[in-house]
Structure 1
């Protein structure tokens, strides 16, 4: 971290240069507390997904709030979390490359020496066999969750019979592999806009999961744990009684796409806590331009929303390219909202928090709100990248 970034701690929010990714710690902590209370009330293990914040610092905050461990989506994310002191990690993805599997074995050994544990997902005989071979490099064992496709149409076994066969194979490799249960996550349901749509998708998913659980139990391989669920649906998984552990990630920061979902009254209310701070650098008669383009926020789930502070006019964000964002006035019954002035700060809520964080080297954490807060810390995004 550069001296300039380190020097931000303790300064007023105006000292943050633009474009910058800023976390409102007060809002993030409220989100974290609400999720922890929900998990405790419903007697669910909480294992948040670290692929969202990609930061050991925020992972430690989640552990302090009651999380049992963290999920990671890549070997590199898991390694970064472990280096930051996280001892219970689940790589909720398939890993087939020999080099990466050797890193998995080394990480399992590292966590074992610290009293921790590593888990990983698998959905194929080849994946299990390669994992077992890599684990011969260490005396440590690794927990293996069979990934079941419950409607996502991505990774996962697609029939109960396939799950049973894979569980039997894992059991035969019991020296280095431990059959841990089922990984059942329906990512496609998270952003269905209405509560009714999400409940329908999870009703079908729960039916598929139940058939798989029953088949495993009939083979004397009842899953010790079923893990899954995301920010959009976790209350539905909780109500089903089929999941023991939930993996929501985006709830901590939220994003413009999740905020478009109809809120399920069974879930806590979460608020945006991740923002791109940007500055107006040009103004014309019909629009203004800010210095936050696509290099500062991901657009796979849509463009960012403009966050309106008290006294600010509501604006719409339009595509301006890599380095620019176009700010347009909104129509209020025939009268257009005023445009911001040159040099004015504008706050954006990214369309998708996970890949937006991946674009930045640091998160600037502030307390006291976006209008008059101070920088509490500059947090390194250790797990950014794809390896």
Structure 2
């Protein structure tokens, strides 16, 4: 249940925002968008950011205005939520197997096509192709759907091995009248948080080799491969300059998070700023620690605990696990002082994607976290979109 109307936050000073709250620094976010758009143009690659990160149709449309060709999602319900908000070019970069979901996919493909849009989906099995084709037939639309064969280029998750199995799947897709073989999905997610730049570069070199070899085999079999898509925020420079990848799926660049901040910087790609924060307030103080009101119900911890933002190194605070409702703050060094009762702080979440999924709305502040004002309230349209 939402405690206040969404419009009520517009015009609030940043220091008036109730806690805990998910806050976007709009200026930082827009600088990140500009850097990403310029990078894609410079390298002549398409840019299809992952909307599972922000889950917002308004943000998706903002990214498209800056040059994004469309968006990736991971779930059928995410695609439906963004389509309802006006997004018209979507790629479900995941396998969908359940018949009921596939019928939803087929109906969404028809609705988007009728409105001049497009839906694509990934497959990695003959059975998945057969079920998708059956759902398209059952939906009765001749609009069709773009299908990308997913290959495992090192993630160890979904996807067939690069090589002959992918050729067989491409042929199977092309043989179905309502399915269009649209290329290869080759995302190396495991490389995104390898800490050393050299490690990330090596992992993507392997992915590039696998994608290039598979594309050559499919083309030798007589099928054009219009697209190789993949890449994430941690490695996008290597895919963009590979000569093999045509499209970048990076999404976390928009907000960044503490986990990405732990990577060794790569000077070959843009430097993105933190733009998503959790505002929190100190609610209890003690000689050895302070307690804030942002626990795990306000930020995800799967990729580690948040960082306390904006403090000089000598005055840094360490955030420790306090449970669902609380964070425990310790002085990180001998010169650091614990915050006072009632003091507000800004946290950088460990992982932006699931953190966003914990909130109904994001408050967009213009003018910085210290002196800014809430300019936008952005709905998290695909919150809880798990199916």
Q: Shared topology, TM-score over 0.5?
A: yes
Choose from 212, 215, 235 the match for 2:214: 212
d(CA) in 1 for partners of 2:73, 2:149: 16
Select the residue among 144, 158, 163 that pairs with 2:161: 158
Residue 12, structure 1, aligned to residue 13, structure 2: yes
Query: CA offset at residue 352 of structure 1?
Result: 0.3
2:151 is the alignment partner of 1:141: no
Do 1:93 and 1:122's aligned partners in 2 also have CA atoms closer than 8 Å? yes
In the TM superposition, what is the alpha-carbon distance from 1:139 to its structure 2 partner?
A: 2.2
Q: How does 1:15-54 map to 2 (within 5 A)?
A: 15-54=16-55
Deviations 1:87-143 (A, max 9, x none): 000000000011111110111011011100000000000001100011111222100
Q: In structure 2, what is the equivalent of residue 182 of structure 1?
A: 184
Deviation at 1:211, TM superposition (A): 1.6
TM-score (normalizing by structure 2): 0.97
Q: How far apart in 2 are the matches of 1:62 and 1:205? A: 27
Of the three residues 248, 251, 264, the one matched with 2:250 is 248
Tell me what 1:295 maps to.
297
Please list, as runs of the form range in 1=range in 2, the aligned pairs for 1:105-144 lying within 5 A after superposition. Answer: 105-136=106-137, 137=139, 138-144=141-147
Note if contact 1:214-1:222 (Cα within 8 Å) is conserved in structure 2: no
Shift of 1:6: 1.8
In structure 2, C-alpha distance between the alignment counterparts of 1:311 and 1:29, rounded to whole Å: 27
* 1:270 alignment counterpart: 272
Change in Cα spacing, 1:326 to 1:232, as seen in structure 2 (3 Å) is: same
TM-score (norm 1): 0.97
> How far apart are residue 5 of structure 1 and its match?
3.1
Asked if the contact 1:309–1:371 (Cα under 8 Å) also holds between the matched residues in 2, the reply is no
Distance 1:221 1:160 in 2: 14
- Give the root-mean-square deviation of aligned CA atoms: 1.3
- Which consecutive residues of structure 2, in runs of 5 or more, have no partner in the other structure? none
Whether the 8 Å contact between 1:192 and 1:261 is mirrored in structure 2 is: yes
- Alignment: residue pair count: 383
Matching residue of 1:81: 82
How far residue 15 of structure 1 moved from its aligned partner, in angstroms, is: 2.2
What residue in structure 2 maps to residue 352 of structure 1?
351
1:176 CA drift (Å): 0.7
Alignment of 1:260-339 (within 5 A): 260-308=262-310, 313-331=315-333, 335-339=334-338
Distance in 1, Cα, partners of 2:287 & 2:174:
69
C-alpha displacement at 1:312, in angstroms? Answer: 9.8
Distance 1:103 1:4 in 2: 32
